[in-house]
């Protein structure tokens, strides 16, 4: 199956809520070797003006990938995940992600470009709190290799 060119312009609604917890922040910070005390110590985060532990900037990828899964799992997309190569990821933060946040992400397919037998797909996840406060925007590009590539 080839990539559906009609994906461009499609949006996927915010799905389940992602609860940002202190241990999730600490584990992610350790995994990416982030050393700022505000990722591990509540008092250090509060000293910087935050209400709780602050997630490293790339923590937003966890919420964004949950949104991306809707596209990959959409039978109309034509995406075979075994053929996906991650090409690019960008983050725009509207405010820091902190422990206690309840986040959702709406996914938008901004581009589908045929490349040989495959396609480059660009998506944008608008991450916000469940109350609608904008938190981050992530932009991702994936290359879906065609058969024989």
User: Does residue 134 form part of some domain?
Assistant: yes
What is the rounded average pLDDT of the residues 118-126? 94
Please tell me the predicted confidence (pLDDT) of residue 51.
97
User: Does residue 130 form part of some domain?
Assistant: yes
What is the rounded average pLDDT of the residues 45-61? 97
pLDDT category, 148, cuts 50, 70, 90? low
User: Does residue 94 form part of some domain?
Assistant: yes
Q: How many domains does the chain fold into?
A: 1
Please tell me the predicted confidence (pLDDT) of residue 5.
85
User: Does residue 33 form part of some domain?
Assistant: no
Please tell me the predicted confidence (pLDDT) of residue 78.
86
User: Does residue 35 form part of some domain?
Assistant: no
pLDDT category, 33, cuts 50, 70, 90? very high
Please tell me the predicted confidence (pLDDT) of residue 149.
47
What CATH number does residue 120 fall under? 3.10.129.10
Cβ neighbours of residue 20 closer than 8 Å, sequence gap 6 or more:
55, 59, 97, 98, 99, 100, 101, 102, 103
- Neighbour tally for 110: CB within 10 Å: 16
């Amino acid at each position: 199956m080839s990539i559906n060119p009609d994906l461009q312009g499609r949006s996927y609604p915010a799905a389940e809520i992602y609860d940002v917890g202190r241990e999730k922040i600490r584990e992610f910070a350790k995994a990416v070797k982030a050393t700022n005390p505000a990722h591990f110590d509540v008092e250090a985060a509060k000293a910087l003006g935050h209400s709780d532990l602050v997630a490293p900037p790339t923590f937003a990828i966890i919420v964004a990938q949950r949104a991306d899964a809707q596209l990959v799992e959409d039978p109309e997309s034509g995406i075979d995940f075994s053929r996906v190569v991650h090409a690019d990821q960008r983050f725009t933060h509207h405010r820091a992600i902190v422990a206690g946040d309840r986040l959702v992400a709406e996914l938008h397919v901004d581009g589908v470009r045929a490349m040989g037998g495959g396609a480059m797909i660009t998506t944008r996840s608008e991450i916000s709190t469940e109350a609608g406060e904008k938190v981050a925007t992530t932009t991702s590009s994936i290359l879906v290799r065609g058969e024989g590539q």
